[in-house]
Amino acid sequence: MQQTHQGTRVPAVWRPRGRRRIAMVSLCVAVAAVAGAFAGVSTAATPDVRLAKGSYVPGEVLVRFRDGASASGVAAAHASAAATVLRSFTSVSNLQLVRLSGLSVGGALAKYRQRSDVLYAEPNQIYRIDDVELTPNDPFYASMYNLNNTGQTGGTPDADIDALEAWNVTTGSNAVYVGVLDTGVDWDHPDLVNNTKPNAAECNGQAGQDDDANGYVDDCHGIDPLNGDTNPMDDNGHGTHTSGTIGAIGNNNTGVTGINWNVQIIACKTHDPSGNGDAAALVECLQYMEIMKAQGKNVVATNNSYGGCPEACGFSQALEDAIASNMDEGILFVASAGNDAANNDTTLKYPADYFVPNVIAVAATDDDDLLASFSNFGTNTVSVGAPGVSVRSTVWNNSYTYLSGTSMAGPHVAGIAGLLAAQDPSRTWSAIRNLILAGGDPKASLTTKTITGRRVNANGSLTCARRKVSGPLRPLPTVDGQDPIIVAALNINCARGARAPTVTITPGNTVIQLKDDGRGADLAGRDGIFSGRWNLLPCDPGAYTLTYSNGKQDTTTVTC
């Protein structure tokens, strides 16, 4: 089996123009100006202020009464706003912090400001530290629309993964490990060098000795099972590019920045200079990730930006088994969807199409959040979209370039997995997968092209709250009805599984209760994928509609 690369070289069609944003400084100035505007607000009825979400504490108001305000008047004021006193202050007389139980902050302010005994009422503003380091100083950052789209490429501002916002939460950790199965990594590239030393025992050990007794001699940067050695140096550039998106060193005044400023890339060379690799090398790499994890390293995911040839010739049972073993060890498998502009639901494409719960298949979007013209898609098989057109990153020989392909989209997902593990090292593979899927931004261009209809958003994943996503996974559009048919659907609320859905299949009105118990048809328990078996024996060919209890619908044609 040949696994060819899914990156295509494109000319650098644009150059960095916009200036770097010094976002935090301007944010703080804005907050101070807003807060200042409230000082000395008169008691006259003031129109409701426009409150910027995130600029104040929800459900709280600061209110100061005039000297001489009566106790009954104060009580009546609080009653009118349905507020209770949290704190009274002495240095500023008659000032109280109150908690609201019904009204919005804006509504409560209006109530207080109507009263003559209220001197002023204002939101409990949030003030951020004046941190200017979160916008990285890497000179090419301004050209990276995929991380922070300011319209610098002519695209749509905010058609990006909100990396700038995510870096307020975490910029990654050198205690998080991401495997890259690719053409190797230029591990002494100045923008990668400290993030490509996953095995300190060997990097600092004796040459020619297996210092950590893991079966590989001198595997400081990873291994090269394609050539049977432990030097995964890149000889193509592709693997260095995918690695740079995941974890080029950030804020080092050099080149680009990765989604993770700090991370450890485990390079595993599976592909030759012309971009061809084989299943045996891939299986050994996935095994190597388990060896590293058994040493106590938090290996969160592998990135797999390659695919088999068209049709089912890309299928390898051994590779599927190795991916399933990775799931058992808590390692995600991020796969590019493919560059054939094809529907992966009907033209199966591996490894993206392996039906194993730790697989995340990634389509490519552009700087307008449109599906890239070359990108594969599939409402049952392709999980999410991520930027994959003209992505700037590191390449072989200490260089940088723009590449396009679903190969470039996948590393955005692997990179966000790294941030999620840095934020909370105890997260399970399924929690990280679900946060990536639920935290994305809904995009019309992806609604009928992916399971979730979302383009990933690093900040949305790191700050996920009450975001439900669901989508049918199986059966595929055509299915053989001579055996029981697997029915499965994703149904999650941020990191966790949501309520177990039922599915009603017509004609026939067959009702199946799907379960997330890890038994029988369900491949992993409590992971947010709910599964069941549809027994249509004796086989009855034709078109069927599956209607889920959460309102989703899917169709399939049964053949016999």
What is the distance between the terminal CA atoms of the chain, rounded to a whole angstrom? Answer: 30
Identify which of residues 254 and 375 has a Cβ nearer to Ca ion in the complex: 254
CA–CA gap between residue 350 and residue 261 (Å, rounded)? 31
Q: Is 446 helix (H, G, I), strand (E, B) or coil?
A: helix
Catalytic residue among 143, 173, 393, 407: 407
Residues 508/522, Cβ–Cβ less than 8 Å: no
Residues 540/481, Cβ–Cβ less than 8 Å: yes
Q: How many CB atoms lie within 10 A of CB 278?
A: 17
Token duo for residue 77: 């004021």
What's the half-sphere exposure (Cβ side, CA atoms, 13 Å) at 540? 11
What's the half-sphere exposure (Cβ side, CA atoms, 13 Å) at 47? 1
- Nearest alpha-carbon partner for 181 in 292, 52, 76, 289: 289
Q: Assess 252 for contact with Ca ion (CB under 5 A).
A: yes
Is position 182 annotated as part of the catalytic site?
yes
Q: Site residues for Ca ion, window 258-297 (CB under 5 A)?
A: none
Q: Assess 6 for contact with Ca ion (CB under 5 A).
A: no
Residue 364 Cβ vs Ca ion, minimum distance, rounded to whole Å: 23
Q: Assess 138 for contact with Ca ion (CB under 5 A).
A: yes
Kindly report whether the peptide bond that precedes residue 351 is cis, defined as omega within 30 degrees of 0: yes
Candidates 17-25, 104-112, 131-139, 438-446: pick the segment binding Ca ion (CB under 5 A).
131-139
What's the half-sphere exposure (Cβ side, CA atoms, 13 Å) at 242? 38
Q: Assess 488 for contact with Ca ion (CB under 5 A).
A: no
C-alpha to C-alpha distances, 344 to 308, 310, 404, 473, 557, nearest whole angstrom: 12, 10, 19, 12, 16
Beta bridge partners of 489: 472, 530
Residue 283 Cβ vs Ca ion, minimum distance, rounded to whole Å: 19
Candidates 89-97, 243-251, 264-272, 536-544: pick the segment binding Ca ion (CB under 5 A).
243-251
The residue type of 216 is Y
SS (H, E, C) 48-59: CCCCCCCCEEEE
Q: Assess 441 for contact with Ca ion (CB under 5 A).
A: no
CA–CA gap between residue 173 and residue 177 (Å, rounded)? 9
Q: Assess 358 for contact with Ca ion (CB under 5 A).
A: no
Q: Assess 529 for contact with Ca ion (CB under 5 A).
A: yes
Residue 137 Cβ vs Ca ion, minimum distance, rounded to whole Å: 8
Q: Assess 186 for contact with Ca ion (CB under 5 A).
A: no
Identify which of residues 64 and 412 has a Cβ nearer to Ca ion in the complex: 412
Kindly report whether the peptide bond that precedes residue 507 is cis, defined as omega within 30 degrees of 0: yes
Q: Is 438 helix (H, G, I), strand (E, B) or coil?
A: helix
Identify which of residues 55 and 137 has a Cβ nearer to Ca ion in the complex: 137
Q: Assess 3 for contact with Ca ion (CB under 5 A).
A: no
Residue 348 Cβ vs Ca ion, minimum distance, rounded to whole Å: 22
Residue 164 Cβ vs Ca ion, minimum distance, rounded to whole Å: 15
Catalytic residue among 221, 238, 241, 271: 238
Identify which of residues 21 and 515 has a Cβ nearer to Ca ion in the complex: 515
Number of residues that bind Ca ion (CB under 5 A): 16
Q: Assess 524 for contact with Ca ion (CB under 5 A).
A: yes
Q: Assess 229 for contact with Ca ion (CB under 5 A).
A: no
Contacting residue, 160, 165, 191, 367, with Ca ion by CB under 5 A? 191
Is position 80 annotated as part of the catalytic site?
no
CA–CA gap between residue 236 and residue 231 (Å, rounded)? 14
Token duo for residue 278: 């084989």
Candidates 3-11, 118-126, 420-428, 521-529: pick the segment binding Ca ion (CB under 5 A).
521-529
Q: Assess 216 for contact with Ca ion (CB under 5 A).
A: yes
Contacting residue, 219, 224, 366, 369, with Ca ion by CB under 5 A? 219
Q: Which uninterrupted H or E stretch holds 33? A: helix 23-38
CA–CA gap between residue 221 and residue 292 (Å, rounded)? 12
Identify which of residues 198 and 255 has a Cβ nearer to Ca ion in the complex: 255
Kindly report whether the peptide bond that precedes residue 538 is cis, defined as omega within 30 degrees of 0: yes
Catalytic residue among 182, 211, 345, 522: 182
Task: Give the largest CA-CA distance in the chain.
Answer: 87
Q: Assess 182 for contact with Ca ion (CB under 5 A).
A: no
Q: Assess 224 for contact with Ca ion (CB under 5 A).
A: no
Identify which of residues 21 and 496 has a Cβ nearer to Ca ion in the complex: 496
Residue 117 Cβ vs Ca ion, minimum distance, rounded to whole Å: 58
Q: Assess 254 for contact with Ca ion (CB under 5 A).
A: yes
Phi, psi of 164 (to 5 degrees): -60, -45
β-strand 298-304 against 332-336: which pairing, if any? Answer: parallel
Residue 515 Cβ vs Ca ion, minimum distance, rounded to whole Å: 8
Contacting residue, 60, 117, 131, 212, with Ca ion by CB under 5 A? 212
Residues 235/183, Cβ–Cβ less than 8 Å: yes
Is position 224 annotated as part of the catalytic site?
no
Candidates 12-20, 151-159, 212-220, 302-310: pick the segment binding Ca ion (CB under 5 A).
212-220
Q: Assess 210 for contact with Ca ion (CB under 5 A).
A: yes
Identify which of residues 55 and 398 has a Cβ nearer to Ca ion in the complex: 398
- How many helices (H) and strands (E) are present in the chain, helices listed first? 12, 27
Candidates 87-95, 209-217, 457-465, 499-507: pick the segment binding Ca ion (CB under 5 A).
209-217
Residues of this chain that interact with Ca ion (CB under 5 A) are 138, 191, 210, 212, 214, 216, 219, 249, 252, 254-255, 516, 522, 524, 527, 529
Instruction: Give catalytic residue positions.
Output: 182, 238, 407
